[in-house]
Structure 1
Amino acid sequence: MFTDFIDGPFWTFSVSVFAIGVIWRLISIIRLGVPGDLAVPREDGGAGGMRTILSRFMARPAVRKRALLIVVAGYMFHVGLFALLFFAQPHIDFYVDRFGVPAWAGMPRWLFILTAEIAFAGLIMAWLYRVMHPVTRMLSGIGEHTASWLVFFVMLTGCLALLEQYDSLRVLHFFLAELLLIYFPFSSLMHTFTFAFSRNYTGATMGRRGVDA
């Protein structure tokens, strides 16, 4: 009964909340618009925006020097999580079954486990930095901690479900993933989509003024 509910109605509900919530948040940002700039542009704003979007994927030397640990942890977690979401074979099979997309090559089991360990380490390091550093501790609220721990338990149950010994582990993993989908649009996790908007705005604004942002 519970399994049918998680695999059926609750899945539909969580995906709907996720999709509608994300679209609503993005439309809200776009509708804000940008203030007019009457100054003569020194450079094309579009080029500056694109340059900033791409360049921000690499931490600046000063940041790497002062906060190397959190920079490394960020790469470990984000790259690892991306690989798990899109190249773990169980996830590929799930996308094919639920969304009808064509299958693509996934990572072997040993690489899945290694990638999961790297992502786990990055997430834990980032969270410890958040709670131990005085500035990030002050800036972090219950929302940030909830997001971190929800992602952690989704990943943990996913690794346990990989053993395929108990279907209850798969159901628990799926249930937590659905909770994450519901929570996602209303949390700081929205930076998954909004980072491009903020980087582009900063880069375009500074680019028009001739500043390399």
Structure 2
Amino acid sequence: MSLLDFARGPALNWAMAIFVLGVLWRLGALLMLPRMRDRSAPRPGAPGALKGGLGALVRHMWVPKDFGLTSRFSLINGYIFHLGLAVIVFGFAQHILVIEGLFGLSWPGLPTSIITAASFVTLASLIAALVRRTTSPVLRTISTLNDYFTWLITFLPVLTGLLAVSHLGARYETLLAIHLLSIAALLIWFPFGKLMHAFLVFITRTQTGAFYGRRGVKI
């Protein structure tokens, strides 16, 4: 079995299985936690749980005006690399073929030039996020190995995919195998690292918003 056969066969199959089971396990463990009934009286005019939760989710999509430029930079930069990743994953024709093979869904792909530009922008945005984390005294203090490894495991698929498309550094088959292995590593790490926030952020923010909304506090 060649490296490419292993990467697009057993490696990806096991990675997807671990990803699905890991995400379900994390979500199940969170949703099945015992909850105490809130017996406190809601503040007059307090929104309902759903309205309070959704309100907090929407408000946190932007930085309050009282916060400084560094907070706005972090948020805007976060939007840039998240949108860049979305364009790469769902706009590249080869990725769409993989999605079609897995789920039977298909749509027109974007031109390669747009995917390439999105890849460079995403890489630059991720590097900017790393520089921000390592140069900010506060962020550097609270950062752990989880943060840096999650950054690396997100950065590598974009970099290796760009190298594979550009045929730079090695034979195309080798570059493609490395790219697929980097994706497999990301899928395996996803449920157990900071990447899991892609699912948890909606649950935690709405729950916190509902909790504080009941007490008349906006967050």
TM-score bucket of the superposed structures, by smaller chain: over 0.9
When normalised by structure 2's length, the TM-score is 0.90
In the alignment, the residues of structure 1 paired with residue 216 and residue 36 of structure 2 have an alpha-carbon distance, to the nearest angstrom, of 18
In the alignment, the residues of structure 1 paired with residue 209 and residue 191 of structure 2 have an alpha-carbon distance, to the nearest angstrom, of 25
1:175 paired to 2:178: no
Quote how far apart the aligned CAs of 1:54 are. 2.2
Quote how far apart the aligned CAs of 1:64 are. 5.1
Quote how far apart the aligned CAs of 1:66 are. 4.4
The Cα offsets for residues 90-132 of structure 1, whole Å up to 9 and x where unpaired, read as 21112112x0422112221121112112211111111111111
Tell me the equivalent position of 1:147.
Answer: 150
When normalised by structure 1's length, the TM-score is 0.92
Q: Given that residues 43 and 209 in structure 1 are in contact (C-alpha distance below 8 angstroms), is that contact kept between their aligned partners in structure 2?
A: no
In the alignment, the residues of structure 1 paired with residue 155 and residue 76 of structure 2 have an alpha-carbon distance, to the nearest angstrom, of 18
* Partner-residue secondary structure (3-state), 2:32: helix
Pairs aligned (count): 212
Q: Given that residues 49 and 211 in structure 2 are in contact (C-alpha distance below 8 angstroms), is that contact kept between their aligned partners in structure 1?
A: yes
Identity across matched positions, percent: 31
1:102 paired to 2:105: yes
Q: Given that residues 63 and 72 in structure 2 are in contact (C-alpha distance below 8 angstroms), is that contact kept between their aligned partners in structure 1?
A: no
Aligned AA (2:108): A
Single out whichever of 179-188 and 83-92 deviates more from structure 2: 83-92
Alignment of 1:1-213 (within 5 A): 1=1, 2-41=3-42, 42-63=46-67, 65-97=69-101, 99-163=102-166, 166-213=172-219
The 1:138–1:209 alpha-carbon spacing in structure 2 relative to 1, beyond 3 Å, is: same
In the alignment, the residues of structure 1 paired with residue 41 and residue 123 of structure 2 have an alpha-carbon distance, to the nearest angstrom, of 49
Unaligned runs of 5+ in 1: none
Quote how far apart the aligned CAs of 1:3 are. 2.0
Aligned AA (1:144): D
RMSD between superposed Cα atoms in Å: 1.6
Single out whichever of 167-176 and 82-91 deviates more from structure 2: 82-91
* Partner-residue secondary structure (3-state), 1:68: helix
The 1:67–1:205 alpha-carbon spacing in structure 2 relative to 1, beyond 3 Å, is: same
In the alignment, the residues of structure 2 paired with residue 74 and residue 116 of structure 1 have an alpha-carbon distance, to the nearest angstrom, of 15
Aligned AA (1:175): L
Task: Give runs of ≥4 in structure 1 deviating > 4 Å.
Answer: none
Single out whichever of 54-63 and 151-160 deviates more from structure 2: 54-63
Aligned AA (1:12): N
Unaligned runs of 5+ in 2: none
Single out whichever of 58-67 and 124-133 deviates more from structure 2: 58-67
* Partner-residue secondary structure (3-state), 1:202: helix
Quote how far apart the aligned CAs of 1:40 are. 2.2
Single out whichever of 82-91 and 56-65 deviates more from structure 2: 56-65
In the alignment, the residues of structure 2 paired with residue 90 and residue 39 of structure 1 have an alpha-carbon distance, to the nearest angstrom, of 54
